[in-house]
Structure 1
Amino acid sequence: MKELALILILQLCYVPMLALRTISMVKKMTLLTSVFGIIECLIYVFGLSLVLTGNQTFWGLIVYALGYGLGLIVGIHVEDRLAIGYTSAIVNIRNKNEELIKFLRDTGFGVTIFEGEGRESTRYRLDILTKRNRESELLAIIEKFEPSAFVIFYEPKHFKGGYILSLMKRKRI
């Protein structure tokens, strides 16, 4: 029974580590990817050896698979909490809400404004680039000032220059 609990615990550690390694690899974080990979490999080999050498092969396999599935859920929550990287929000609003724009800028968000023609009227588009861990804060601010705003989030892969880059150099964000 102890071995089954250990297998489950190992899977709950292994799979989130796999998720973090994959995410850091996609984001080209070389050293972090390597560290996660080493830890992941050690957990994987140890856990698999328990399953393959134990007396409870059938139950060990079931617990191993169950742990993997639960580990995926844990991995998603861990990554969501860490929110590594940046996000780009495109916010479409009906009126040029100066109060919203000023508040966003005063709160540290870089905002670029575009004016365009919608189907029924003039629209304003706000382009906002921020760290992913501030995404929910940004959404709450937008909801407070412009509850009917249309918002889309994208995850940029590369960016060069601009407000965020100058902030990163000054503050090391």
Structure 2
Amino acid sequence: MIDIILIFLIQIVFVPILTLRTIFMVKSEKEKASFVGALEALVYIFGVSLVLSGEQSIGQMIAYALGFGIGIYIGGIIENKLAIGYTTYNVNLQSHNIELIEKLRFEGYGVTVYEGQGRDSERYKLEILTKRSSEPKLEWIIEEYEPKAFIISYEPRKFKGGFLVKAMKKRLNVKKQKELKL
């Protein structure tokens, strides 16, 4: 019975680690992916040695499968809490909502405004790049100022130049300067 519980717990630990390693690789965070990958391998080897030592039972197989499924769920929760990376929002408006645009810029979001022609009238599109951790605040502001906005979001893989990249480089340089002083 102890083996079944251990297998279950190992899977609950292993799968979230695997999830995070995969996400770090996709986000091009190789150093973090390497560290988490080494931890993943350690947990995996321990789990496999436990499963393969002795006779396997149906209980062990079920524990492995259930632990895997619950581990995926927990990995998803952890990833959502960490909110690694950036998201681009395309916000389509029926009117040129200056208050919304100014509020977003005041809150530090880089906003580019496009004017276009919809089926029935002119439309305005806001393009906003934000950290994933800032998504809830961004969505709240948009909802407050423009509840009928049509919003599409996606994760960009690469970006170069622009407002946000300059701000990130500035923060990175400040961080490096602080590290050098220590």
What do the CA deviations read for 1:74-104 (whole angstroms, capped 9, x no partner)? 1111111111111000000011111111111
Matched ranges for 1:1-173 at <5 A: 1-55=1-55, 57-172=57-172
Letter in 2 for 1:107: E
TM (normalized to structure 2)? 0.91
| In structure 1, distance between residues paired with 2:57 and 2:43 | 19
CA distance in 2, matches of 1:43, 1:6: 12
**Matching residue's letter, 2:168:** M
Query: Could you tell me whether the CA contact under 8 Å between 1:54 and 1:60 is conserved in 2?
Result: no
- For the residues of structure 2 that align with 1:71 and 1:20, how far apart are their CA atoms? 11
What is the aligned-residue RMSD (CA, Å)? 1.4
Of 45-54 and 12-21, more deviation after overlay is shown by 45-54
Structure 1 moving runs of 4+ over 4 Å: none
Moved more, 133-142 or 122-131: 133-142
Tell me the secondary structure at the aligned position of residue 128 of structure 2: strand
C-alpha deviation, 1:55, in angstroms: 5.0
AA aligned to 1:93 is: L
Distance, in Å, in 2 between the alignment partners of 1:150 and 1:156 is 19
Question: Please, which moves more after superposition, 89-98 or 43-52?
Answer: 43-52
User: Which residue type is aligned with residue 134 of structure 1?
Assistant: S
C-alpha separation in 2, matches of 1:171 and 1:34: 25
Gaps of 5+ in 1: none
For 1:44 and 1:162, the matched residues in 2 are separated by 42
Specify the SS of the correspondent of 1:147: coil
- Return the alpha-carbon distance in structure 2 between the equivalents of residues 4 and 54 of structure 1: 13
For residues 74 and 54 of structure 1, do their structure 2 counterparts lie closer, same or farther at Cα, with a shift above 3 Å needed? farther
Question: Identity, % of aligned pairs?
Answer: 50
The whole-number CA distance in structure 2 between the counterparts of 1:107 and 1:8 is: 45
Query: Which secondary structure does the structure 2 equivalent of 1:96 belong to?
Result: coil
- The alignment of Structure 1 onto Structure 2 pairs a total of residues equal to 173
Distance 1:81 1:54, change over 3 A: farther
* Partners of 1:51 and 1:57 within 8 A in 2: no
The runs of 5 or more residues in structure 2 that have no matched partner are 176-182
The CA deviation string for residues 38-79 of structure 1, in whole angstroms up to 9 with x for no partner, is 101111111121122155522111101110011011111111
Q: Residue type of the partner of 2:59? A: W
TM-score by length of 1: 0.95
